[in-house]
Amino acid sequence: MFGYLRNQPIFILLYLLLCLTANAQTSITIEGTVRDVNNVPLSKVSVLLDRSQTAFTDENGHYVFNNVSAFSEHTIRFTYTGFETVQQKVKGNKLDVTLVPATSELQTVEITGRTETGYKNTASFIGTKTATPLIDVPQSISYVTKELMQDQASVRMGDVVKNFSGVNQFTFYDDITIRGFRINGGSTTQLLNGLRTFTGFWKQPMVNYLERVEVIKGPASALFGNASPGGAINRVTKKPLAVDRKSLSFTMGSFNNVRTLADFTGPLNDQKTILYRLNIGYENTQSFRDLQFDKNLVIAPSVSFLPTEKTRINFDAVYNKSNSRLDRGQSILAGGDLYSTPISRSLSATNDYLNEETYTVTASVNHQFSSRLAFNLAYLRTGYTEDLLEHRSANAYAVDSAGKAVPNLVARQSFLRKKSPSSDNASAYLTYNVETGKMSHKLVLGYDYASSKLPVGASQLTASNYQLKSGGVAPYNPARAADYVFYTYTAADGTRMSIPKPNVSSFDINRNDNRLEDPAKYVYALQNSAVMPSFSTISGVYLQDQIKIGNLQLLLGGRFDSYTDRPFYKTDSVTKVTQHAFMPRLGVVYSVLPNVNVYGIYTSGYNPQDAAVQTNPLAGGPFDPITSKLVEAGVKSEWLNGNLTATAAVYRINQKNTLYQANEQGNPDKMIQIGEEVSQGIELDITGRITEDWDIVVTYAFNDAKITNGGKTDSLFLNRQKPNAPKHQGNVWTKYTLPVGPLKGLGMGAGANFVTDRNVSLNATQTLPGYVLVNAALYYKVNKVQLQVNFNNVTNKTYWAGGYDYIRLFPGAPRNWQATIAYTF
C-alpha cells in the first residue's frame, strides 16, 4: 500500500506527459507564402481556412494558422482584388500559392461583369485607371451598386445621389453639387465607364442599365482632363457575364407610374468566348406636378468577344428615347412664404413638349502582351437631340401700369428650340508592372482626345416682353405707358385692374391656369446666341506610377492638357482660343493594419474660361483657366472579413480665377479675374454587409463651402454658404432578410436622409429649409419570384430639393409608393 502511494506521483507525471503528447499530435500549424506570377510576395491577401478562420498575408506574403486540427481535411481560399481567386486543399502543414492577374487587370474601361452581390464594391477604375482596390486608392470614392438601387427602387440619378456623402441635388434636372461645386449632365465632364460623355440637362437618365454609380471626390483633371473641383460622376454600365442570368420585373405605383425592366446575360457559344448582355427599360409615369409626365424607353446591349485569354473586345450601346414636358419649377406669391402656393403647381401649357433622344456607343480593345505589359484602347460617341416647346416663367412677376409687381401673376415667356450636340472621346494607354529592388511599380502612360460639337442648324425662338400698339414687343416702361396695349385682368377675388398685355399670357398662381396656348399669336425673336455653333477639343497626355514598398504605397502622376475652343464655329466670325494646363497628382497610402489604411493626396484641376468671354475685346482678356487644388487625408478600412468598409475623409478645395464683373463705368462687358471659392469639410461612409442577411449604408458630410472673393456684383454672397450646398447632410439605409423559419425570404428595409437649410442660387436672401425624409420597403422572395413594395417620404414631408429663386423652386415628391414583382430565371 505504502509502495503504491510512493510511486503515485510518477504515474501522475507519466499521465500528464501522455496527455500533452496526444494534444500536440491533434493540432498543427498551417502556413505558407502567396506570390504573383513574377514571384513578388503579395501582402494583405485574404486567406480563409475552412470558411471559419481568416488571416491576411504580411509584407513578405506570409500567412499562418495556429492550433488547427490534425485529424481533419482543410481547404484554404485565397482572395485578392485584381487576381483570380484560388481555392486548394492542404496536404501537410504548408501551402504556397501563386495568384494570376484577373482579366480585369487588362481594362481601361470596365468590361468584365461584376460578380459581387450586395451593397459593397471592392475595386474601381475611376481612381487610377487600373483595377485597384478602393482601400488602396488615395482619394475618396463613393459608390452605389445596382443591388442598393434595386432595393430602394431607384429610377433616376436623383434617387441615387442621396446615398453619397457630400453630394446632393441642385435642381430636379440632371444637376447636382459635389462638395459645394455644381456639375450637370449638359457638360462633357460626366463619365461613362471612365470616358467623357454628357446626358443632356433637363431629364435625369434612368439607372436600370447601370451596374453602379460612383463619384471620385475632388478634382479628377489629372486623369480625365478639365473637371469640376468638387468631383466627377462615373456611370458604370452592366457588363456581360459568362453565366446565364435573366430577369424581368414589372412596377406600378403612385402618380400612375408603370415601369417594365428586363436584364438578360450569358454566353452565346459553348466556348464562352462571346458573351452578351441586354437591358431594356420602359416607363410611363405622371407626376405630382401639374401636367408633368415622362415616357422613357432605354435599350442597352453589350457584347464581349474573347478571341484569346489575353485579348478582349467589347461593344456597348445605350439608347434612350424620352417624351415629356419641361418643368421649370414652382413659383410662390411675391413677398409670400414658401407655402403660399401648392408644390404641385407648374406654369406649363397643355401643348408643351420636350422630345429627347440620347445614344452612347462604346468600343474597346484590351490586350495583354505579357504578365507585365497590357494595352488598352477605347472610343465613346455620344449624341443628343432636343425638340422643345415650353411656356415658362420670365424670371419675374407681371407688372401693373405703374410697373409694380402683381404678386399672384408670374410673367411668362415661350421657347421653341432644336439642337443636336455630340461628343467623341478616345482613350489609349499602356500599363507596365515592374520591380526595382524591393519596390514594385504599376506604370500607366496614356493619351486622351475628346471633342464636343454643336453643329450648324441649332436654333431658338423666344417670345417674351409686352405688346406695343405698333405691333411689336418690348420690356414695359411706365414712362411710355401710352405705347403699350392694356387689358383688363380679373383676379380670383373678383378684383379688376387694367395692366400691360404680355406677349405670352401671364400665369395666375392662385388658381390652376394651365391651358392650351397658341404660339402662332406670339411675336418671336431669333435668339441663336444660346445655340451658336461651337466646337471644342481636349488633348491630354498623362503618366502615373503606383509604387509599393512593403506597407507603403505611393501614387505619382501628372497630366498635360491642351484645350481648344472655336466660338462661332462654321461662321465668318470663327475664332480659335487655346489654353494649356498641367495637373500634378501626389498620393500616399500606408497600411497600419492588414485591414486599415491611412492616406493623403494633393491634386489639382482646371476648367477653361468661356470662349465667348475670351474673344470679347471689351472683356479685358485673355484670361487664365479656372484652377483648383485639393488637399485630402483620411482612413479606409475593411471589417467583418472584408464585407464591411468604412471611410473617413477631411479635405480642403480651393478654386481660383473665376471671372466677375469689373463694374467699370461705360464698359459693362469688362471682367476681372478675382473669383475665389473654398470648400472644406469632413465625410464618413460605411457600406457593406454586417451578416449574410443584413446590409447597411451610412453616410454623413459636413461641408463649409464659401465664395471668398467675388467682386462687387456678388458681394451679398461673400462668406455665405454656396447655393444649394447644405452644411450638413446624411443618409442611412439598412435591409434585413429572415434567413430561416416559416417567414424565410421576408425582408425589411428602412432608412432616412437629411439635409440642413440651403441658400438658393440667384438670391442671397432667399433660403430653403432643411428636411428629413423617411423611406421603407418590404420584400418577399420565394424561389425565383420576388415581391417588393417601397414607401417613400413616409411622413409626407413638404420639402424642396433646390431652387434658383422663389419663382423657380424645385419641390420633392410627397408620400408615394411603388410595388414590383420580379422573376429571375
Sorted by where each starts, the structural domains of the chain and their CATH numbers stand as 2-100 (2.60.40.1120), 109-236 (2.170.130.10)
Q: Which DSSP state fits 742?
A: T
What pLDDT, on the 0 to 100 scale, is given for residue 2?
A: 42
Task: For 264-279, give the DSSP string.
Answer: EEEESSTT--EEEEEE
Q: Which amino acid is at 793?
A: N
**Residue 114 in grid coordinates:** 461584376
**Residue 358 in grid coordinates:** 440620347
**Residue 625 in grid coordinates:** 483657366
The sign of the CA dihedral 49, 118, 772, 800 is positive
d(CA 578, CA 593): 48
pLDDT mean for each 10 residues of the chain (825 residues): 50 52 68 84 88 88 91 87 80 88 52 73 84 91 96 94 95 92 78 89 91 92 83 93 94 98 96 95 97 97 92 95 96 93 96 97 93 93 97 95 95 96 95 92 95 91 96 96 95 88 96 92 85 89 95 96 85 83 95 96 88 72 86 96 94 89 72 87 97 96 91 71 94 96 95 96 86 98 96 98 94 98 96
What pLDDT, on the 0 to 100 scale, is given for residue 762?
A: 75
d(CA 67, CA 29): 6
Q: Do residues 628 and 222 lie in contact, with contact meaning Cβ atoms separated by under 8 Å?
A: no
The sign of the CA dihedral 655, 656, 657, 658 is positive
**Residue 102 in grid coordinates:** 484577373
Please state, in angstroms and as integers, the Cα–Cα distance from residue 782 to each residue in 204, 776, 820, 824, following that order: 33, 21, 14, 11
d(CA 29, CA 46): 18
d(CA 638, CA 96): 25
- Is residue 61 exposed (0-12), middle (13-18) or buried (19+ Cβ within 10 Å)? buried
Here the contacts of 754-758 (C-beta below 8 Å, separation 24 or greater) are: 754/728, 754/729, 754/730, 755/168, 755/726, 755/728, 755/729, 756/726, 756/727, 756/728, 756/729, 757/726, 758/721, 758/723, 758/724, 758/725, 758/726, 758/802
What pLDDT, on the 0 to 100 scale, is given for residue 80?
A: 80
Which one, of 684, 681, 598, lies nearest residue 646 by Cα? 684
Task: For 655-693, give the DSSP string.
Answer: EEEEEEE--BTTBTT-EEEEEEEEEEEEEEEEEEEEETT
Three-state secondary-structure class, residue 142:
strand
d(CA 554, CA 110): 24
What pLDDT, on the 0 to 100 scale, is given for residue 720?
A: 87
Which one, of 815, 810, 797, lies nearest residue 768 by Cα? 810
**Residue 200 in grid coordinates:** 443632356
Three-state secondary-structure class, residue 397:
strand
d(CA 253, CA 819): 6
What pLDDT, on the 0 to 100 scale, is given for residue 466?
A: 98
Which one, of 574, 566, 512, 587, lies nearest residue 348 by Cα? 512
d(CA 597, CA 271): 41
Residues 6+ apart with CB under 8 A from 682: 648, 649, 650, 701, 702
Q: In terms of DSSP bridges, do strands 274-286 and 466-467 run parallel, antiparallel, or are they unpaired?
A: unpaired
What pLDDT, on the 0 to 100 scale, is given for residue 612?
A: 63
d(CA 523, CA 171): 30
Rg of the chain on CA atoms, in Å:
31
Q: Do residues 185 and 200 lie in contact, with contact meaning Cβ atoms separated by under 8 Å?
A: yes
Cis peptide before 622 (omega within 30 of 0): yes
d(CA 791, CA 779): 12
Side-chain half-sphere exposure of 325, counting CA atoms within 13 A = 21
How far, rounded to the nearest angstrom, does the alpha carbon of residue 342 sit from its chain's CA centroid?
31
437 sits in the region (left: phi over 0; alpha: psi -120 to 50; else beta) called left
Q: Which residue has the cell 494583405?
A: 44
**Residue 620 in grid coordinates:** 479685358
